[in-house]
Chain A
Amino acid sequence: MSFRLRRSLTAYLMLLPTLAITGVFVIYPVVDSFVISFFKWDMLSNVRPFVGLQNYRHIFADPLFQRALLNTVLYVVTFVPIVLLLGLLCAVLLNQKVKFLAAFRAAFFIPYVTSLAASGIVWQWIFNDQFGLLNYLLKQVGIQPQNWLQNPHWTLFNLDVMGVWQNLGYVAVIFLAGLQNISREYYEAADVDGARPFQKFRHITVPLLSPTTYFLLILTTIEAFKIFLQIYVLYGASAGPNNSGLTLLYYMFNEGFSDYRMGYACAAAYVLFIIIFIFTLVQMAFSRRVHYES
């Protein structure tokens, strides 16, 4: 056996576990999911008739799916701008040579490493209508207590609060890394020209930070489209009052694991997958262009 072939063989052996697991649990299901979405199947029976695009037609006509799509999009367009703006604010403040930088950074980051199951239970208690902290604090400033968890109008608000709380530290840390990458020389040159703080922010920080902003925009959008667990935990394994917390992933979960309608579930999963895939492609196409520094 040639030396080159033997080296190749060793390399394949070292890659084997990775390839086997990725093949069985990532690559195969990508295909399998697509296939199942064209069949009518309840997982238990042996009959699995081919139905073509009927599953897709069914879910797009299903008012619940439309509801789920709307709720998911509403969450994305509210959560993403809020978390990016607040995260940028945190990062800019932390970049002012503050004392205890490491302590602040760690504090902001803790929710990101905390189990959503545990923090969801804590938020459920904070939002409690009778004895919750939020209603108590509002009462102190003269605002009527609200039925946060029973009133469907508040569902989006609750999810945004929890989502921002959990992801703020992550966004801030990445923005902070981006800010620290900007060369001091630009600011010094601007100082020589007598630029004011806002002018420096507007004309130096914003453009030079744009690759980071762009990366975070796509990443948080993708994450937001997959929202499920916050709802499941906050509303005690339900999709909220009046399905106000029904999202794409929740719809897939219900179809698949409550009703065992695997065809509908996989069709819904693929709709979500395609949405996310489009955002990923947009990111790849633009990430080559939006670069000001190498």
Chain B
Amino acid sequence: MRKFWTYVVLVILVLFVLGPFLWMLSTSLKTQGEVLSSVPHLFPTHWEFSNYVKAWQSAPFGMYFGNSILVSGVETIADLTLGAMAAYAFARMEFYGKQVIFVILLATMMVPGEVLLIPNYITLAQFHWLDSYQGLIVPWLVSVFTIFLMRQFFLGIPREIFEAAELDGCGPMRTLFRIVMPISKPIWVTSALIKFVGAWNSFLWVLIVSRTPHYFTLPVGLINFSTDIGTIYNQLMAAATFTMVPLIILFLFGQRYFIEGIARSGIK
């Protein structure tokens, strides 16, 4: 009996969480007439798939999509590569000032990025990087969180593996990319997922850096589209759907890595 109530409450909470998504899908498939009817149905009486085509064509969504993939992809690959290099240095190498540098990097994690928007905007203006891919991407090429996650993982790898690699004449870079990275798959998949999701959903930075739609990513393009078309809700919901669906699919495939990575950040 107690089990029964557990499920009842869980289902109510799931309906609250997934309800907006169902409502979005439902609206995205309705005719404008049905959208504005006084009695809403969950299932459209006439399935209007053309809303997706119309929405896709009423704004340069193909371009936004390309920008999103480019920006998130480059940031993720750079974050993994540069983050692994830094993590390796901290985990396995001795150098002067190691502790101090590590503590300073950790301290930067406490700085909320939003607070730095104004000076960073000024820096970009001085670099002439406003409205450019460099401006969108370069400030986000590394994240201390990734370095921290990877360093923890590298510290747990048996010392003998590194010693064997060095006996074979491998330098640090070769050891890292030939030997350490292949056996560290769980941690870089986790880091990559967290980074990619963050980059894809990034909004405020893209809003400030891009002046012309040419450099909009999907979220900013979507908001721009919504200001333009106003209340044509079926097309708006179609556009919202194709903005979020790639990430939801990515999340569902990688959820084990993603959720465990997040949960680990909480326990430390």
Contact = CB atoms under 8 A, between A and B. Distances in A.
A90 B9 CA distance: 9
A86 B13 CA distance: 9
Interface residues of A, number: 91
Contacts of B155: none
Contact of B204 (A107, A228, A280): A228
Contacts of B227: 236-237
Nearest to B138: A21
A195 interface: no
Interface string A100-135: 001011111111011111110111011010010100
Contacts of B226: 121, 236
B243 A165 contact: no
B123 A29 contact: yes
Interface stretch (A51-59, A176-184, A186-194): A176-184
B121 A17 contact: no
Given A136-B40, A178-B266, A228-B114, A11 B236 contact: no
Given A25-B139, A237-B227, A98 B7 contact: yes
Which secondary structure dominates where chain B touches chain A?
helix
A273 interface: yes
Contacts of A252: 114, 117-118
How big is chain B's contact interface, by range? Answer: 35 or more
Contacts of B173: 14
Interface stretch (A71-79, A147-155, A198-206, A263-271): A263-271
B251 interface: yes
Nearest to A262: B118
A28 B105 CA distance: 13
Contacts of B3: 96, 98
Interface string B111-126: 1111111111111010
Given A212-B266, A226-B112, A228-B204, A111 B144 contact: no
Given A125-B233, A125-B236, A272-B115, A14 B89 contact: yes
B210 to A, nearest CB: 13
B29 interface: no
B259 A126 contact: no
B13 A108 contact: yes
Contacts of B172: 10-11, 14
A22 B105 contact: yes
A16 to B, nearest CB: 9
Given A113-B247, A116-B201, A237-B227, A8 B95 contact: yes
Contacts of A102: 255
Most buried by B among A18, A94, A136, A177: A18
Given A173-B262, A226-B112, A36 B119 contact: yes
Most buried by B among A10, A93, A109, A117: A117
A33 interface: yes
Contacts of B119: 28-29, 32-33, 36, 266
Contact of A18 (B82, B138, B233): B82
B10 A276 contact: no
Nearest to A284: B110
B248 A114 contact: yes
B31 interface: no
A80 interface: no
Most buried by A among B96, B142, B237, B264: B142
A93 B115 contact: no
A117 B223 contact: yes
Nearest to A219: B266
7 contacts: A7-B94, A94-B10, A113-B201, A113-B258, A165-B17, A228-B204, A257-B121
Given A22-B144, A117-B201, A121-B222, 13 more contacts: A15-B101, A26-B111, A26-B113, A28-B123, A90-B13, A115-B200, A117-B223, A121-B226, A121-B240, A133-B40, A178-B267, A181-B267, A236-B226
Minimum-distance CB pairs A-B, first 5: A29-B119, A117-B219, A174-B266, A8-B95, A177-B263
